[in-house]
Amino acid sequence: MKKIAYLTIDDSPSKDMKKKVDVLVSKGIPAIWFSVGRFLKKRSEFAIHAINAGHILANHSYTHPRFSFLPLKKCFEEIQKTDKIIDDIYRKAHVERPAKFFRFPHGDKGDFKHYATSESREIEGKIRKEEIQGFLKKIGYMQPNFENITYQYYRKARLSGDVDWNLTYDVMEWTVFTKVHLFGINSLEKVLKRMDEDAPGEGRGLNYADSEEVIVIHDHSQTTHMFEPIMEKLLSKGLIFKLPKLN
């Protein structure tokens, strides 16, 4: 089976980002690195290395907060501070920034979706979401069309008009090192075994031929030793990794 996939890497740059970029280059895999501003300030040379390798640097906020817990003004600052840092890094790399991509930390769009306790709070959350999405659009953020991602849950979310990036497959390597191992995933072996599951409607569709994938893995130093085996397993699925078309 051959199908297109887009690799996204959250929470970069870690101290091991350069090593991971070199692994990806050796395997012909381009990636979009959703980066945290305060980490970029510490390790901008790693981000430049990724850009020069043909990868895309993207925005994952400045401090990686839950946006629902912030005043709107702080939400905008989280986005814009990192946006300016990324602009500066592209200038230093002598490369034109190809597009502006954003992903919310923790999947929290600032709309109280998981925290609303009343109808009025829910209404406030919808207004906040519109404000944040409007701010992203105003400063040039966009999401590619991904017309060949066919999952119903994904298409429904895409129709909302949101410009932040969603995903179709979470590698889940991050939960190996959390106090509670989500879905019982506590080892590399279980991370790899989960890739063989066939539940396309439930976010486990690597073996489903009729949709492209947006895959997320994280740039955490605790999981650096897992990175190459995970990439090899993904390639064994027949996935062809590309960067998205820029509309």
The backbone torsions φ and ψ at residue 167, rounded to the nearest 5 degrees and listed phi first, read -150, 160
Confidence check: pLDDT of 189 > 90: yes
- Average pLDDT over every residue of 51-56: 98
Choose the CATH number for 3-241 among 1.20.810.10, 3.40.50.300, 3.20.20.370, 3.30.1360.120: 3.20.20.370
pLDDT above 70 covers a percentage of the chain that reads 98
Confidence check: pLDDT of 204 > 80: yes
Q: Point out which residues pair with 28 in neighbouring strands.
A: none
Using CA atoms, how far residue 93 sits from 58, 99, 101, 240, in Å, is 15, 15, 18, 27
pLDDT reported for residue 156: 78
pLDDT reported for residue 9: 98
Residues 6+ apart with CB under 8 A from 205: 151, 168, 169, 198, 199, 211, 213
pLDDT reported for residue 165: 95
pLDDT reported for residue 114: 74
pLDDT above 90 covers a percentage of the chain that reads 87
- Average pLDDT over every residue of 186-195: 98
The overall average pLDDT reported for the chain is 95
- Average pLDDT over every residue of 8-32: 98
Angle between helix 44-52 and 72-93 (nearest 10): 60
Give the confidence band of 247 by pLDDT, cuts at 50, 70, 90: low
Confidence check: pLDDT of 185 > 80: yes
Lowest model confidence (mean pLDDT) among 60-64, 79-83, 124-128, 130-134: 124-128
Confidence check: pLDDT of 186 > 80: yes
Letter string b/e over residues 128-146, b meaning 16 or more CB atoms within 10 A of that residue's CB: bbeebbeebeeeebbbbeb
- Average pLDDT over every residue of 23-28: 98
- Give SS3 for 102: strand
pTM: 0.96
For the segment 155-183, what is each residue's pLDDT rounded down to a tens digit?
877 656 899 999 999 999 999 999 999 99
Lowest model confidence (mean pLDDT) among 38-42, 106-110, 120-124, 234-238: 120-124
